[in-house]
């Protein structure tokens, strides 16, 4: 029996058993429905519904759906969500009922106290190492060049480290940049970077919710070792047409959303484009006749959804983004007898295309389903084209040459997920997926036309096709008022070139409520990652290449245990501390001397497979409500790697081993018109490899290098860059306008102009002395952005 058919049988059996269970529970009644934003109709993911009489509650899922089964009696319900006015409802329950709630945001209700519930959720849920990112924070904290960036806000959280100066790559609990499952509407994103990693591809205006999971992974997630960043795009305002946008120094963006059929069909379209090329082109063109060039990137997010009924809803969402760098040089010889022109054009481009067609269907008040077809592709190409035209003996002769390198990955997938709520003490999730991967690890294409003959050649790696599947089941089980456990299993398999890999991944996390303000949590998760990312720069270059496992290069595996405590403090403060240990196998690292851009067919010869481990503690002091809100995060961690043939088999620190990492992110609202944001970060310097000594090498007979020297490197990553720290300041000035509202955002990135190291190299000073030289990218950079809403 094939893995796919096993998977389908498993799911059908599960549905059958659950249907029987549902029919067996007769004396209870189920309240189910959606919890949405009253103003926009957007799902309030994670909103809670709680019955005071029974002490039972439920949480809305990613589509705002909840299901709460209670004894058929009178109920007293509280429906709440952070930043929204809490609703209370009393009613007699004598049968299953569909109840949908629309909560009003705080901004709409002047003088109404809004109850904070987020901390309650933190205490309540069994899951740990999970942080819901506030998009308000993303929008109000100062950032580089004023470009709001979800990933850069995530970098400010404990356990998450940034890579290089200004880059949006993230490194979670000692993991690599490839070990983050970044999901946009449930679809994996393979390269989340614009402009060599200085900006992420996510347009904040198009995002509805962001959740970061660093450990204790629920069984529904898999395929990466270190983190899950689950982002959901806005569904589109189902009540009225609404728009927002911004005009910044390097880019502008615009989002429009609204109903097509009120409360039934809505859409959201969001676009962003840089205009660095427009601003710099005159300067480039002034360098000489025929010279042109530039760089730009753009993003386009779109989503449309239609509600067929209270039980059936369809979503179609897509993302398309691209970076493009181009140069052009042309030359003309204006000889009357033999005119000649030539043009050289070169460029590189990369981008993602993502699509998801999703159908929510509610089988019954306790069974919610989500069926999805997805497409995700990432491609990179670099190429040049040379064209010339000359006249010989009165005849025009055209010739051309072009060379192009293409690489990328493309996925088609189908998946089905179920949420089953048999009673208030259990919330079961199960499902499965099949993914068809196409890897393009590097094809060179050469085309030549010399005016007489035409040649078209392709060479390089062949495409690789692979099949991946997974199935999972998990139960969030409230054992009693104190204990809650989430246990499950994720089973996955991968088949490529007649080689098959399977993985059985148990997951468990639990919570013990010490009192109504304190919870203790612990978790264990086994993760498997079939895909490897080839990158030896670590800065998120578009050349980074996704490759499948092979006979010799096995899937990456990780085991992570974590334990922690969460406590609510007075004055809306909360504090959490987590300690973790993560062990990883089959990690890839480039061998000594491995080149930067080798032919992809030979990548296996350039890498070594080995192990790594990371352990540490993370402290988060947070204040979510009030005029002053934000957090202070501190991480103390150790991350090491060990490979048989690197560093002579000895343990060495990971490049992003960071002993201390501190982040301060605060906003303060002075009035409805003015708020300020402050970010301060400090991190131990990255580990790099530098020679500390030089000495003469062995010279033998005929040795060309007689008397030559070598630089002695004691260990890989033996040298620490100077520590990284930076202060960013921002102020937002809001004003109501005729059309809606506007916000001027002023920012100072790196306010005290700290020269943070980007890379180090040796060079000579004026006296001829050799010195260690540091390159820093960003001094103090002011920014201004005009934002508007209507």
Nearest to 609 by CA among 625, 624, 587: 587
Strands 628-643 and 607-623, sheet pairing: antiparallel
Q: Within 10 A of 316 (CB to CB), how many other CB atoms are there? A: 17
Q: Per CB under 8 A, does 760 bind other proteins?
A: yes
Q: How many residues line the site for other proteins (CB under 8 A)?
A: 82
**Rounded to an integer, what distance in angstroms lies between the CA atom of residue 458 and that of residue 442?**
11
* Pick 325 or 524: Cβ nearer other proteins: 325
In angstroms, give the least distance from the CB of 225 to other proteins: 22
Among 19, 444, 550, 642, binds other proteins (CB under 8 A): 444
595 contributes a contact to other proteins by CB under 8 A:
yes
Instruction: Give least dist CB 645 to other proteins, A.
Output: 9
Q: Which two tokens stand for residue 60?
A: 């809305």
Asked if residue 56 lies in contact with residue 13, where contact means CB atoms within 8 angstroms, the answer is no
Between 33 and 540, CB nearer to other proteins? 540
β-pairing verdict for 781-789 and 573-590: unpaired
Establish if 592 lies at the interface with other proteins (CB under 8 A): yes
> Which of the residues 651 through 690 are near other proteins (CB under 8 A)?
689-690
CB 166 within 8 A of CB 145: no
Q: How far is the CB of 711 from other proteins (least distance, A)?
A: 6
Contacting residue, 16, 504, 596, 744, with other proteins by CB under 8 A: 596
DSSP tag of 554: P
Q: Give the number of residues written for the chain.
A: 790
- In the list 740, 761, 782, 784, the residue contacting other proteins (rule: CB under 8 A) is 761
CA distances from 132 to 70, 85, 157 (A): 28, 19, 11
Applying CB under 8 A, which part among 9-17, 49-57, 413-421, 756-764 lies near other proteins?
756-764
Q: Is 404 or 425 the residue whose CB approaches other proteins more closely?
A: 404
Residue of 575, 598, 617, 725 interacting with other proteins (CB under 8 A): 598
Interface positions, 220-279, toward other proteins (CB under 8 A): none
Please name every residue paired with 620 in a beta bridge, in sequence order, or none if there are none.
Answer: 576, 633
Alpha-carbon distance of 43 to 772, in angstroms, equals 54
DSSP state of 64: S
Binding status of residue 774 toward other proteins by CB under 8 A: yes
Report the site for other proteins in 695-734 (rule: CB under 8 A). Answer: 695-700, 702, 705, 709-713, 715-716, 719, 722
Residue 155 CB, shortest distance to other proteins, in Å, is: 19
Our CB check for other proteins shows the closer of 95 and 702 to be 702
End-to-end CA distance of the chain: 57
Name which of residues 313 to 372 contact other proteins (CB under 8 A). Answer: 325, 327, 346-348
Is there binding between residue 512 and other proteins (CB under 8 A)? no
Q: Where are the beta strands (DSSP E) in 334-366?
A: 340-364
| Residue recorded with tokens 């979800």 | 150
Annotate each residue in 281-320 with x if it binds other proteins (CB under 8 A) or - if it does not, as one string.
Answer: ------------x-x-------------------------
CB of 143 to other proteins, least distance (A): 17
> How far is it, in rounded angstroms, from Cα 144 to Cα 157?
17
The single residue among 29, 144, 382, 433 that binds other proteins, judged by CB under 8 A, is 382
Q: Taking every pair of C-alpha atoms in the chain, what is the biggest distance, in angstroms?
A: 100
User: For residue 288, what are the contacts with CB-CB under 8 A and spacing of at least 6?
Assistant: none
For residue 296, give both structure tokens.
């730009």
Taking the alpha carbons of 135, 141, 146, 147 in that order, is the dihedral positive or negative? Answer: negative
Q: Which of residues 79-108 bind other proteins (CB under 8 A)?
A: none
Question: Strand, coil or helix: what is 604?
Answer: helix
CB atoms within 10 A of CB 686: 27
The number of beta carbons lying within 10 Å of the beta carbon of residue 24 is 8
Site string for other proteins, 180-219 (x = CB under 8 A): ---------------xx-x---------------------
**Nearest to 189, CA basis, from 51, 319, 342, 370:** 319
Question: Using CB under 8 A, which of 9, 463, 482, 591 touches other proteins?
Answer: 591
Using CB under 8 A, which of 778, 785, 787, 789 touches other proteins? 778
Would you say 577 or 719 has its CB closer to other proteins?
719
Per CB under 8 A, the segment of 58-66, 148-156, 431-439, 595-603 that binds other proteins is: 595-603
Q: Select from 87, 640, 669, 755 the one that contacts other proteins (CB under 8 A).
A: 755
């Amino acid at each position: 029996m094939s893995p796919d058919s096993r998977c389908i049988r498993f799911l059908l059996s599960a549905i059958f058993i659950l249907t029987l269970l549902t029919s067996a529970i007769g004396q209870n009644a189920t309240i189910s429905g959606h919890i949405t934003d009253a103003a926009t109709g957007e799902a309030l993911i994670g909103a809670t519904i709680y019955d005071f009489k029974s002490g039972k509650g439920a949480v809305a899922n990613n589509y705002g759906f909840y299901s709460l089964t209670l004894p058929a009696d009178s109920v007293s319900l509280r429906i709440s969500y952070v930043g929204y006015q809490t609703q209370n409802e009393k009613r007699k329950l004598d049968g299953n009922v569909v109840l949908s709630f629309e909560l009003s945001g705080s901004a709409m209700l002047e003088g109404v106290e809004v109850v904070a519930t987020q901390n309650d959720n933190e205490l309540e849920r069994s899951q740990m190492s999970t942080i819901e990112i506030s998009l308000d924070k993303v929008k109000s904290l100062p950032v580089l060049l004023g470009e709001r960036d979800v990933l850069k806000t995530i970098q400010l959280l404990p356990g998450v480290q940034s890579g290089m100066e200004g880059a949006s790559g993230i490194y979670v609990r000692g993991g690599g940049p490839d070990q983050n499952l970044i999901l946009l509407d449930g679809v994996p994103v393979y390269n989340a970077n614009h402009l060599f990693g200085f900006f992420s591809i996510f347009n904040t205006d198009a995002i509805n919710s962001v959740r970061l999971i660093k450990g204790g992974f629920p069984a529904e997630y898999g395929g990466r070792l270190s983190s899950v960043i689950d982002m959901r795009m806005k569904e589109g305002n189902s009540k009225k047409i609404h728009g927002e946008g911004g005009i910044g120094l390097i880019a502008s963006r615009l989002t429009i959303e609204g109903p097509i059929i009120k409360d039934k069909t809505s859409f959201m379209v969001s676009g962003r484009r840089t205009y660095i090329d427009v601003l710099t082109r005159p300067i480039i063109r002034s360098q000489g006749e025929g010279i042109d060039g530039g760089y730009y990137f753009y993003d386009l997010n779109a989503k449309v959804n239609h509600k067929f009924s209270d039980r059936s809803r369809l979503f179609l969402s897509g993302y398309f983004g691209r970076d493009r760098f181009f140069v052009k040089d042309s030359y003309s010889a204006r000889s009357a007898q033999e005119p000649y022109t030539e043009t050289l054009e070169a460029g590189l481009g990369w981008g993602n295309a993502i699509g998801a067609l999703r159908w929510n269907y509610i089988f019954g008040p306790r069974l919610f389903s989500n069926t999805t077809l997805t497409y995700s592709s990432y491609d990179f190409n670099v190429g040049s084209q040379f064209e010339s035209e000359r006249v010989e003996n009165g005849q025009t002769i055209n010739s051309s040459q072009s060379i192009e390198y293409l690489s990328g990955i493309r996925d088609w997938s189908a998946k089905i997920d179920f949420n089953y709520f048999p009673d208030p003490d259990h919330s079961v999730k199960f499902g499965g997926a099949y993914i068809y991967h196409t890897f393009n690890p590097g094809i060179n294409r050469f085309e030549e036309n010399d005016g007489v003959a035409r040649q078209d050649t392709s060479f390089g790696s062949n495409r690789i096709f692979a099949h991946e599947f997974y199935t999972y089941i998990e139960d969030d089980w409230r054992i009693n008022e104190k204990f809650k456990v989430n246990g499950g299993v994720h089973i996955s398999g991968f088949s490529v070139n007649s080689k098959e890999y399977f993985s059985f991944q148990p997951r468990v996390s639990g919570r013990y409520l010490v009192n109504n303000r304190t919870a203790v949590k612990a978790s264990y998760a086994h993760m498997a990652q079939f895909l490897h990312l080839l990158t030896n720069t670590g800065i998120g270059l578009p050349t980074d290449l996704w490759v499948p496992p092979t006979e010799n290069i096995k899937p990456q595996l990780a085991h992570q245990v974590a334990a922690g405590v969460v406590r609510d403090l007075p004055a809306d403060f909360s504090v959490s501390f987590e300690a973790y240990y993560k062990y990883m196998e089959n990690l890839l690292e480039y061998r000594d001397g491995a080149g930067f851009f080798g032919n992809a067919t030979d990548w296996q010869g350039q890498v070594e497979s080995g192990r790594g481990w990371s352990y540490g503690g993370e402290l988060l002091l947070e204040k979510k409500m009030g005029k002053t809100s934000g957090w202070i995060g501190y991480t103390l961690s150790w991350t090491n790697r060990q490979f048989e043939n690197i560093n002579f088999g000895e343990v060495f620190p990971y490049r992003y081993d960071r002993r201390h990492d501190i982040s301060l992110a605060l906003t303060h609202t002075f009035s409805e018109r003015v708020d300020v944001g402050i970010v301060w970060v400090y991190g131990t310097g990255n580990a790099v490899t530098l020679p500390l000594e030089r000495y003469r090498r062995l010279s033998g007979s005929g040795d060309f290098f007689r008397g030559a020297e070598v630089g002695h490197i004691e260990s890989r990553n033996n040298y620490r860059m100077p520590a990284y720290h930076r202060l960013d300041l921002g102020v937002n000035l809001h004003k109501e306008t005729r059309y809606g509202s506007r916000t001027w955002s002023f920012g100072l990135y790196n306010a005290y102009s700290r020269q943070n190291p980007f890379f180090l190299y040796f060079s000579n000073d004026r006296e001829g002395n050799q010195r260690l030289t540091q390159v820093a990218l960003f001094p103090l950079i002011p920014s201004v952005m005009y934002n508007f809403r209507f």
